[in-house]
Amino acid sequence: MTFLLNIDVPDVAQATRFYTAAFGLSVGRRFGSDFVELLGWPAPVYLLTKPAGTIGAGGDRRRYERHWTPVHIDVVVDDVDAAVARALSAGAILEAPARDAPYGRIAMLADPFGHGFCLLAFSEKGYDALIGSS
């Protein structure tokens, strides 16, 4: 079993520039002008052009201002502060600056299309540091 990540965006060219600059991903294949495969993470990322206002899952209209979703991307990095700087220079929006947590260091951001993501560097114990804490 495997998985892939699909990200709806209003402008696939702008999204390609953002995700390649922010995360060092590279273009794999292009499927016409509205569908791009990005490689470099454990799972391929597919950027799909879906105009704002079109109907998505559950009958919701797509919108690209900041929105909440219970599913988001955590990008595990070696250096959160350097990754934040890189993402911001690519056009990300900082929502919560990097902070230390028992499991490592984390920052919360959003891409230019309203999709939230976290940058995370694990401590030596990682999430195991949370075992036994209340």
Query: What do you get for the CA distance between the two ends of the chain, in Å?
Result: 34
96 class by beta-carbon count within 10 Å (0-12 exposed, 13-18 middle, 19+ buried): exposed
CA distance 110 to 72: 10
Do residues 104 and 126 lie in contact, with contact meaning Cβ atoms separated by under 8 Å? Answer: yes
pLDDT of residue 11: 96
pLDDT of residue 69: 83
State whether residue 84 is helix, strand or coil. helix
Average pLDDT over residues 28-33: 95
Which architecture characterizes domain 65-129 according to CATH?
Roll (3.10)
| Mean pLDDT across the chain | 94
Where does the chain hold its CATH 3.10.180.10 domain(s)? 1-51, 65-129
Q: Does domain 1-51 have CATH number 3.10.180.10?
A: yes
* pLDDT tens string 32-76: 999 999 999 999 999 999 999 999 888 889 999 998 888 889 999
